[in-house]
Amino acid sequence: MIGGRNYFAIVNEVANLPASSGTPPQINVTEQFNPFRSELKSAISIPQVVGAAGFLTVTFGGAYAVGDLVRLTITSNLTSRQLFRKSYTHTVQAGLTTVTDIANAFTAMILADVNNPLNSPYSAVSNVAGVMTVTQFDDDKQGLVSYTFTDSAAGTIVSVLTPTVISEGQPSDLLDRGVPQADILAANYTTVRITFQHEVAIPFIDSAGATVREIYWYGTPAQAAALVALIP
């Protein structure tokens, strides 16, 4: 279920080009699924997109002194409906005052969560010369927000988000929506989201005589164009 509405996902066969036929007209959405055209109320075509997980680039700069406090707080909605929120705090130690030392300390703290992924939104963390990169674990949605603080007089901490490129039409996306692995034969697909109002006899005075579901349809660009053109 997405956004409160039931849905189902289907993959179109390679040889099936959607068309309208019969009276009243039906559409061969797939070879096995031929609803009446009147039951298909809207369609949006979405081209395939190769996703890329978003990441935070946290840069430690300036000159830190012993005893300076540095804090990085990260929130995420990736792991559950309850917001993940964690603050990583470090006090600068004698002999470990360079930005690389401080980045190493934060990397070690976050790496503990990377290695314990039950509720962690991270897939990786690394740093080079005071620049730390924290990567989220998937490319299905935007998932990281950060807040920074330091009481240092001369040291700085700045976090910049590179947003997720949300994946669409890749085999992993089809699997996420319940398509069996055996049905996924192409490297990628065009997605068509369809509002499906299945006409049924519902014995209630305030019913419109239909149940509403959403269809995630997957096929080639040409098939998708033909299908969208048929749906009013």
What per-residue confidence (pLDDT) applies to 82?
A: 86
From the number of C-beta atoms within 10 Å of its C-beta (0-12, 13-18, 19+), residue 104 rates as middle
User: In this model, does residue 94 exceed pLDDT 80?
Assistant: yes
What per-residue confidence (pLDDT) applies to 1?
A: 42
What per-residue confidence (pLDDT) applies to 3?
A: 46
Integer Cα distance of 215 and 195 in angstroms = 6
Please choose, from the candidates 74, 71, 75, 109, the residue with its C-alpha nearest in 3D space to the C-alpha of residue 90: 71
Measure the CA angle with vertex 87, ends 84 and 90; round to 5°.
Answer: 155
Q: What is the mean pLDDT of residues 11-16?
A: 95
Instruction: Return the minimum-mean-pLDDT range out of 56-60, 135-139, 175-179, 208-212.
Output: 208-212
